[in-house]
Structures are given as structure tokens and as C-alpha cells.
Structure 1
Amino acid sequence: MSEVLDRTRIYIGGQWVDSDGDGSIEVVDPATEQVIATVAEGVVSDVDRAVAAAREAFPAWSALSGAERAAYLGKISSLANSRVDELTATVSQDMGMPLSLAKPVQIGMPLKNIAAYAALAGTYDFDDQEIGNALVVREPIGVVGAITPWNYPLHQVVLKVFAALAAGCTVVLKPTEVAPLITYALVDIVDEAGLPPGVLNVVSGYGPIVGEAIAAHPDVDMVSFTGSTRAGKRVAVVAAETVKKVALELGGKSANLILDDADLAAAVTEGVGKCFLNSGQTCTALTRMLVPAERLPEAASIAAEVAKAYTVGLPSEPGSKLGPLVSGTQQKRVVSYIEKGVAEGAELTLDGREHGFTTGYFVGPTVFSNVTEDMTIAREEIFGPVLSIIGYQDEDDAVRIANNSEYGLSGGVWSGDPARAEAVARRIRTGQVFVNGGAFNTDAPFGGYKQSGIGREAGVFGLEEFLEIKTILR
């Protein structure tokens, strides 16, 4: 058994310090089920110390020019880019994504966003509008509390922390306790880069303790949360007591509309990929595939054949496309949804419970056909490699089914006519729509409608979430 890494210190005021609590949390490799590290189980007084450090650092950090802040972020970007392979190995072991995918997705995307926010900090015009005798200026909101999830543990940290830093805010971060090691690797880089003390502070721990303390703290001006809709609602309730701004990026149950004039084989093949990315542990996963009812058997057959090529394997194996789920809890959750789909009468075309591994939190590619709108697997976010195929009668019916959800985070539309595809995309009540397999854009605004969240992340829109608007009348 390999040595267990000790990361039981928290980062406050530019130093790694002991937690006030004496508890620790075990970090488990999801492929081997072995404990690989321990982190601190933070307590409320740790949050108090971190917030105090962030509050003390805020005046000086916010007073810097955008170019001065950009210089710090640029140094962090340079250091991180020099350690891509090391960071990839850490995140792959941390949360289970195969190395070949983790490098471009789990590391490549966030490093691109760090560089983008370094550039934005230096070019964004904070004093860009005059209305008559009024000068409208944008100022950093203050101390930001950031609470991040385990499925893209570095990317979600970067979208919050580096946008806030670029805006001139200081940050108290609670990273996921499930896959925290990549965040610690980033903080080591931040520390080496010489970010001023207190600008970024990190307290590990559980959501009901550390997360709630951050959301409730009167000296935290804004809280930005990514996670489940249930937990996001709790963050909003707690934050409301001090009337602080809340940004929420929550769940999804996104529909992929394959219209009757689309290339069915191409659309289904791409749709399977957008469902199974990161073993389905993706809030934007296109988990509901809508196809013309008369072509349902054909679509299901194509999907099953394509899905079989999504090889389940250890993250270190070159051919692996689906690594383990992040935890035993998540594995049990996904299996229970498969069982529920069978019980409610959906046709199980490919069964992911049969994957050949006795160790590790694996679930294989799973395809359901003849799914109806009222079934649990068509309504609830599963967060695993489970695709539900639903038949529709016509275009209006497809749009109705797509919008018949409490969520509105992502979606897809396929058509042989790009203009028709875009017109249908505009009818979908969701924050992002992929048209004919469009590529993900790391600079474009990201966020949801309805119970998928409040606010936007990435690019200029993400930066502006952390700014207040002030009117100066002259």
C-alpha cells in the first residue's frame, strides 16, 4: 500500500496553518478504493480566520490596477502550464478520469481559463460608461466565498477564484472534500507565485459546517456555489440572512433534440459522447436523447453499439474511456437509478452494471430506450453514464419534452438545416445549446435557467459576476 499523503493544513493569510479542529477526512482513489491522502476537517473558527484574512487583504488587492493583478495571475498561469503532466496525474487519481482525457479536459480547460482571466484583468475597462452627468463604474464586490464540486475539481475552482481575483476581490474557498488534491496542487502554485497574503484562502471540510459558515458569514459579500440543486437551495437560504449576492451553478437534465432531417448516425454518435463525458459526471451531460418516435428502435441500436466502444478501465490504461465514478456513494446512486429505470418499464438496451470490475467504483455505459417523460430516469439528474432515449411526434412535441424539466442548463439540437437547428435552439429554455455538435467554448458565458442556477461563469460575463455597479453623479 502506498504512503498516505498528509494535506491536513489549511491555507490562510498566505501560509499553510493548522486547523482549529482535530478531525481529518480521508481521500480515496476511486479506482483502487485505497486511501491516498487526508485533509483537514475544517471548523467554523477556521472560516472566521480565513474571512478575516481576506477582509484585511481586500483594500490593497482591490486598489491595484488591472494590469498589476494580471501580472500575478500571469505568473500563476505560467507555473501551472509548466506542470501539466504532474497536475494531470493528480486529478486523474483524485477523481478517476482516464489520463488521456484528464489532460485536455480536467487540466487543459482550467489552465486556458487562468490565462484568459489574467488577460482580462489587464484589459477590462472598469470605468466604461457615462450617462449624462453620471459616471458608471464597476468595482469588486469584496470578499467572495467559493464552494466547489468534485466532478471538475480544478475547472470549477478556476472559474470562481480567478474571475474573482481578476475583478479585484479576495476569496475564501471551500474545495470539494471528495477530490481535493488538485486544488491543493493549485494553491501550492499560487503560494510559489507570491500572491499577496490573504488574497486567496482555503478551508477544507464538509458543506454543512464549512460551506454553511462561508455562506452565512457577515463579512463575506458574495457566495459562488457549484453543486447539486438541493445544496444550492440551502446556500441561497443561508446567504439570504445577510442579503449577500449569490451565484449558483446547479444540476441539469439536458435534452438532445435529433430532428427528423438530421443524420441520425452522426447525431446519435455525438450525443452518446456528450452524455458519457467524465463517466457521465457532468452537469451539462445530454442525458435525454429525443428522436422521432418511428426511428426510436434504430436510434437505440446505434446508441448501444456506439456505447459499447466506451471502454471501462483504470485511469492509467491508454484505452480507457470510462474511469470509475468518484466514490462508492456515487456508484450506488447510479446503480439505483438503473434499477429504477428497469422497474418503471424502460427498455434496458445496454446494462452498465455488467463491467467486469470487482474493485473500484465502476459503472459501465448504460442505454435505455422507450423512456417516457414521467419516468424517474427522464426527470432526475443521475450523474453517471446513463442515456435515456425518448420518442417524440413532431418538432413542437420535441421542444415541449425538452422544456418539460425543472432544469435548464444545457441542450443539443441536430438538423440537416443549420438555420432550422438554430431556430429550435432558441426555443429551448436553457443556458447553453450545442447545435450540430458545436464545440464547447471556454470563453463563452456558462450557466442555467430555472433550477439550474443563477448567474454566469467564464469570460467577461464571469468576471462581471464579481463586480458591483456604482453611479457617480457629477
Structure 2
Amino acid sequence: MTSTTVGLDFVPSFVQDAWWTPETATTGAEVRDASTGEALAQVSTEGLDLAAVVNYGRTVGQSELGKLTFHQRALKLKELAQILNGHREALYEISHRSGATKIDNMIDVDGGIGVLFTFGSKGRRELPNSQVVIDGPAEVLSKDGSFIGEHIYTRIPGVAVQINAFNFPVWGMLEKFAPAFIAGVPTIVKPATPTGYVAAAAVKLIIESNILPAGSLQLISGSARDLLDHLDYRDAVAFTGSAATANKLKSHPNVAQGGIRFTAEADSLNAAILGPDAAPGTPEFDAFIKSLVTEMTAKAGQKCTSIRRTIVPKDRVQDVVAAVQARIDERVVVGDPRAEGVTMGALASLEQLADVRTAVQDMLDAGGELAYGSLDAPKVTRQDGSVGVADGGAFMSPVLLTWADAEAEAVHSREAFGPVSSVIGYEDVDDAIRLAAMGSGSLVATVATNDPEAARRLVTGIAAHHGRVLVLNREDARTSTGHGSPVPHLVHGGPGRAGGGEELGGIRSVLHHMQRTAIQGSPNMLTAITGVWHTGADRNFGDVHPFRKSLAELKIGDAIRSDLRQVTLEDITEFANSTGDTFYAHTNQAAAEANPFFPGIVAHGYLLLAWGAGLFVEPAPGPVLANYGLDNGRFVTPVAAGDSIRVTLTAKKITPRETDEYGEVAWDAVLTNQNDEIVATYDVLTLVEK
């Protein structure tokens, strides 16, 4: 729709660290209030130099983000979350114009802020305070250990272009931005036109906070035009929207042949399966109905994770329909989100309303039957509290369809992206699995059952067709985040029709913005590249005990090698008696000799670890504040009475904390015997003052 309103403001873009709008003579696409039809703004990118936008991200954005470590970027996300958290109400007010209710805003606005908090925390807990991530253990590639290899992740050298859907203008932006930012990759956000003004309001708050480095976030409000023409193998595109648009973008030469990393999250005919045991009156049946109605009406059903196919035992179809009708009649009030008591708002635009009505009519023509709702304009609660048909509003009644033929092609292929779901009946568990798979790949499914065997069969049967499966029963019904709520800790995405990609997934999603590279070289070279000491690299056996060094003084490779300490039978017996660990290998000579792993009575592994600590410890107060654990412990060679052990301790990994006066140090500990055979290996974890 072109603008006919003189003087209607443009939704601004933010590019090259400045706000930009088209020339005043430009006519753009019009954006309207979803509930009233009032013209709000217009949108256009005519005259915007998209090549310069990409270049700015690749140069300034890459340079500025490259000055920060993973932890420093993660802390900025936490700061950003705190800023946005203080402006939630302002974002709510703007978002109401898109048809979003208070609950919808909690999903979108609060959900997006929650993503920032989560990545701000996980980035510091799970990533090193550096710019390189090691993936897996080193592989020894030569007999003498002088040539080794391993995998590392480093950030891609381009930009992350994020093309978002209209339904979640805040969460959809932040769930893509957060992992890209931690990875160190500049973001170019392109929100959907109908609700892009909400995304722009959030970006304005972000920019005004002055938290982000220059070039790390740019916003394109309007058509992406020739944006993909300026991208190449250095860049990544994350798309959320229709499968048709995703396929069009995938066919772009720079994606098909040019190597752009392309991830799509597309149409998804998600399923909810009611288990054979979940009869009316059970907690599982009640939780199932509650979830179904929530997914039909939250965001007016405009969620890529909404339940489109409700798969239930054939003899319970009418029970489900009746329960859904009762819950909607009791709890759902359609109207302007700014009116008191409204629980379901309008669709995002009149165009979207027309699309959904067309899709429902297609499904009716293909054999679906209207079990609840109508395609007529519903009576709604207006902003002033009056009830009637709202002129200009994109309102629609919740619609529930039933199908005589559970295998009808339309129910498994046609998506009405609104408050619409279909109920189909299955014969048995295998039939339910088959029907779920007919969606050709989905983002999420729910299985509602309290029968462990039914849950096992259903989940293992459908998992390969879905990116996420929620198992809903009486134990988690109250605590579950719900069918339609992706969480930043877990993968969001799905196979086949759902796009075949992944978003979120904790640190996995950070790694989506990085290149995994196999590096080969000597232990010294890999130590220099990764900042982590590798077995075989140089050690520094200095005059000062490493535990006497602060974090500022300690260097990777600083080490200590202890004297030998002999283990006696009396030591072993005393340890067995004092701890209660009287396992026969430590107390019974004949039984121990009969064991193929032991030469006779041997020392406890934990005795050796305790003695190892005694061999390397520096007891006087100093920079080492605490020992907080061991990692990667392995016992290799048994130690018999009369053998001796020594420990070699090497500073392996140093992780300063950005917000504390101490950091973590991982020490490579190796116990060897009098013949220099390895007895045990493990990492000692300590907290050390800066």
C-alpha cells in the first residue's frame, strides 16, 4: 500500500552510526494501527546506499567488536538488557499498536530482554575470556608429540544480516543479535514492514544507551532491495518468514554459488499430540487444552510455533473441540489491546487478515469443517471499552477446524498464520507418529501423556521431524515454558518445511557465527594461537612458585615439578580405614592380584590426588584464593606399595573476570611414578587474585 497521507513520518533506519530517512518527496509503504486502521508512519529505503551499509559493518563494526573479548561483549549484553528492562512500558505502548496484548508483549519484549540476560550470563560462564574457542581435545599427530592438531572457532569476517518476521519485532531481533554480537560479528537488522516501527523504537533505546561499539548494529527500515547483491562468503543471513520467501532468497546467486551462510526459519505446521492415556478429566488433557487455546490466541495465533495440527485419539475429537470451545468462551476477549480485559488483539495488518481468511477458506474447500469460530468480522472490545465491529481493525475470531479425513493434504500443507488450528483423529500411536510426520518438518511438537512408554514411542518417532519436542504431563504442566516459547538455552529451528536451520541453542548459536578451522602445528605454536597450554609445549620452571604469582604476573606455561613421595602399605591401609573405602583392591592382596588391572594392593586414586595437592601446594597466604574443583580426571597406571609419585603442575588456562578482582586458572596436573610413567592426569581449578 502506498502512502496517501501528506506529511506522514518515515520509520527511520540507523546506518553508519546515524539515523537516516528518505527524501521528503519519497512515497513509502504505509503502516497502520492494527486495531483502528489509523495511519502511523510510512516506510522506504529509497536512496539508501546498502553497499555502504555492508561495508561499514565489515570495516568499522568488525574492527570495534574485534577489540573486545567474549566476556566483554557478554557484559555489554547484560548492560543492554538492564537498559531495555527499564523501558519495557514504553515499548509496550508502542507495541500495542501492532495488536499485541500485555501478555503478547511479555512474550516479545520481555522475551527479547531475557535473551540478552541469558547470553550475557552464558557467554561469561561457557566461553573463554578471549577471542578463540577451542573445539574438542588436541589430536597427537606424531609419535613424539611434536606435531598436533585441533579445531578452533574464530568469528566470520563479514556481517550478520538478520531478516525478521512481523510477529516478534523485539524478540525476533534480539534472539539473532545476541549470539552474533558475542561472536564479534556486526549485525544488520531488517525487520518486517508492518511492525518495523516497534523494532526501530527498541533500536533507538539501544543506540541511546551508548553501550554498543560503533558499527555493531545497523537497522534497515523498509525493503532490503539489492542487499544480498553486496554480500559474499564472509557474511551470514538469518531469515525468518515464509517458506516461499526463504526459497527465493536461497536461489540468489550469492547464496547458491557465492557461499553466503544462509539460515531459514520458515513456515511450520506444528503438531500437538494427545496421548492415548490422556482422557478427559486427567491433568494431561487439561494441560493439553490450555496449551492449545494459548497457542491459538497468543499473538492472535501469529507465531511460527503455534499449534496448527491437533492430533488426538479418534474417539476424543469431539471432547477436544468441546473443551476448546468452553475455554475460549470463558477466557478469550478479542479487541484493542489498550482496552481493559482484552486477551487477544488484532492481526498485524489488514493484509495479514486477508491472507489468513483466504487460507482458512482454502482449507474449508479442501474438506475441513468449521467446528468453532467464523470468518465474519467479530464483535470486539474497542479502545474506549465499547463493543462492536471495529472499523479498520484487523480482527478475527479464533477458528477451530475438524477433518473427516485425517490425511487430507491441505491440513498438512496449508498454514493459516493466525488464530487457527485443526483437530484430526488418530487410530493408534504409530498412526499419530505418521500424521505428525506429514507436516514435512516442523519447529516444535507437544506430546501430552503421563505414560512413559507412550512418551518414548511418540518422541523417538517424531523427533527427527522436529527441532524441539515438549513432553507435557502433570509433573511439568505448571512449570513448563510452553509449546510456543523457544528458550535461548535450546535450539530454535527445525528440519524440512521449517527451514532446516537452527537459531538459539545457547553457545551453539554463537558458534553459528564463527568458522571452525582445523589447525596443525607444534604444541608451542598451538599454545600461542589459542592462549591455552598444550602438552609438549615449553614450561617455565622458575624460582618463584606459581601459586605466589598474581593473575597479572602468572603466565601460561608457568610450572612446578615436585620431589618424589613414596607410597607405603601403611599409607594405603590408613586411608582405607579413615575414609571407609575398603574396596578389595586396597585391602585384600589375593583378591587384588586376581584382578587383571592390578599387581596386588594398590593406592586409592583419591589418595594420590590428595597427595598430589600436598606436593604442589604453597601453604602460605597468597594470590591463590581457593581451589574450586577438578576437571578431566583420569587414573592411568596403578600405584602399588613401594612405588613413588610426583606431580608436575602447569598453568594451562588463565581467565580473568571482568567484574571481579580475581580470575580462574586451570592447571594441568600430571602425576608420574618413579619410572616417569603417567599415573593420573587432571585439571586443577583455582581462583587467583588479579
TM range (shorter): over 0.9
Residue 490 of structure 2 is matched in structure 1 by: 444
Residue 520 of structure 2 is matched in structure 1 by: 473
- Amino acid corresponding to residue 6 of structure 1 in structure 2: D
Deviations 1:243-287 (A, max 9, x none): 111111111001111122014441233222223321111111111
User: Aligned-pair distance for 1:335?
Assistant: 1.4
Change (3 A) 1:135 1:407: closer
User: Which residue of the other structure, out of 343, 346, 352, is the alignment partner of 1:330?
Assistant: 352
CA distance in 2, matches of 1:346, 1:25: 35
Tell whether the 8 Å contact from 2:337 to 2:345 is kept in structure 1 after alignment.
yes
Secondary structure of 1:456's aligned partner? strand
Residue 434 of structure 1 is matched in structure 2 by: 470
User: Aligned-pair distance for 1:191?
Assistant: 1.4
Question: Tell me, which stretches of 5 or more residues in structure 2 are unaligned?
Answer: 140-147, 380-388, 522-690
- Amino acid corresponding to residue 433 of structure 2 in structure 1: V
User: Aligned-pair distance for 1:419?
Assistant: 4.8
Q: Are 1:225 and 2:239 an aligned pair?
A: yes
Deviations 1:56-85 (A, max 9, x none): 121331242112222332322121011011
Q: Are 1:386 and 2:420 an aligned pair?
A: yes
Deviations 1:350-408 (A, max 9, x none): 12324122420011111112353225244211111112110111110011001012232
| More off after superposition, 60-69 vs 119-128 | 119-128
State how 1:198-277 maps to structure 2 within 5 Å. Answer: 198-207=215-224, 209=225, 212-214=226-228, 217-218=231-232, 221-238=235-252, 239-264=255-280, 265-266=285-286, 267-277=288-298
Secondary structure of 2:251's aligned partner? helix
Residue 33 of structure 1 is matched in structure 2 by: 37
| More off after superposition, 353-362 vs 11-20 | 11-20
Tell whether the 8 Å contact from 1:109 to 1:442 is kept in structure 2 after alignment.
no
Tell whether the 8 Å contact from 2:103 to 2:298 is kept in structure 1 after alignment.
no
Tell whether the 8 Å contact from 1:69 to 1:122 is kept in structure 2 after alignment.
no
| More off after superposition, 111-120 vs 365-374 | 365-374
Secondary structure of 2:468's aligned partner? coil
Q: What is the percentage of aligned positions where both structures have the same residue?
A: 23
User: Aligned-pair distance for 1:169?
Assistant: 0.3
Tell whether the 8 Å contact from 2:36 to 2:390 is kept in structure 1 after alignment.
no
Q: Which has the higher contact order (CA 8 A, sep 6+)?
A: 1
User: Aligned-pair distance for 1:4?
Assistant: 8.0
Question: Tell me, which stretches of 5 or more residues in structure 1 are unaligned?
Answer: none
Q: Are 1:351 and 2:379 an aligned pair?
A: no
Deviations 1:109-143 (A, max 9, x none): 10000112223333413433342212422111231
Secondary structure of 1:446's aligned partner? strand
Tell whether the 8 Å contact from 1:143 to 1:219 is kept in structure 2 after alignment.
no
User: Which residue of the other structure, out of 52, 55, 58, is the alignment partner of 2:55?
Assistant: 52
User: Aligned-pair distance for 1:215?
Assistant: 6.4
Change (3 A) 1:215 1:177: farther
TM-score where L is the length of structure 2: 0.64
Q: Are 1:366 and 2:372 an aligned pair?
A: no
User: Which residue of the other structure, out of 140, 145, 157, is the alignment partner of 2:155?
Assistant: 140
User: Aligned-pair distance for 1:219?
Assistant: 7.4
State how 1:116-131 maps to structure 2 within 5 Å. Answer: 116-123=118-125, 124-125=127-128, 126-128=132-134, 129-131=136-138
CA distance in 2, matches of 1:371, 1:155: 38
Residue 314 of structure 1 is matched in structure 2 by: 336
Secondary structure of 1:470's aligned partner? strand
| More off after superposition, 56-65 vs 139-148 | 56-65
- Amino acid corresponding to residue 228 of structure 1 in structure 2: S
User: Which residue of the other structure, out of 424, 431, 435, is the alignment partner of 1:397?
Assistant: 431
- Amino acid corresponding to residue 133 of structure 2 in structure 1: D
Tell whether the 8 Å contact from 2:359 to 2:415 is kept in structure 1 after alignment.
no
Higher Cα Rg, which structure: 2
Secondary structure of 2:14's aligned partner? strand
Secondary structure of 1:283's aligned partner? coil
CA distance in 1, matches of 2:119, 2:374: 40
User: Which residue of the other structure, out of 150, 171, 174, is the alignment partner of 2:166?
Assistant: 150
Tell whether the 8 Å contact from 1:174 to 1:205 is kept in structure 2 after alignment.
yes
Change (3 A) 1:375 1:272: farther
Residue 110 of structure 1 is matched in structure 2 by: 112
Bigger helix share: 1
TM-score where L is the length of structure 1: 0.92
Tell whether the 8 Å contact from 2:350 to 2:394 is kept in structure 1 after alignment.
yes
Residue 461 of structure 1 is matched in structure 2 by: 508
User: Aligned-pair distance for 1:216?
Assistant: 5.3
Q: Are 1:77 and 2:110 an aligned pair?
A: no
User: Aligned-pair distance for 1:105?
Assistant: 0.8
Secondary structure of 2:204's aligned partner? helix
Tell whether the 8 Å contact from 1:29 to 1:36 is kept in structure 2 after alignment.
yes
Matched positions, count: 467
CA distance in 1, matches of 2:46, 2:14: 11
- Amino acid corresponding to residue 46 of structure 1 in structure 2: D
State how 1:185-204 maps to structure 2 within 5 Å. Answer: 185-194=201-210, 195-204=212-221
- Amino acid corresponding to residue 393 of structure 1 in structure 2: E
Secondary structure of 2:370's aligned partner? strand
Deviations 1:310-360 (A, max 9, x none): 221111123222211111111111112332333333221212324122420
| More off after superposition, 300-309 vs 399-408 | 300-309
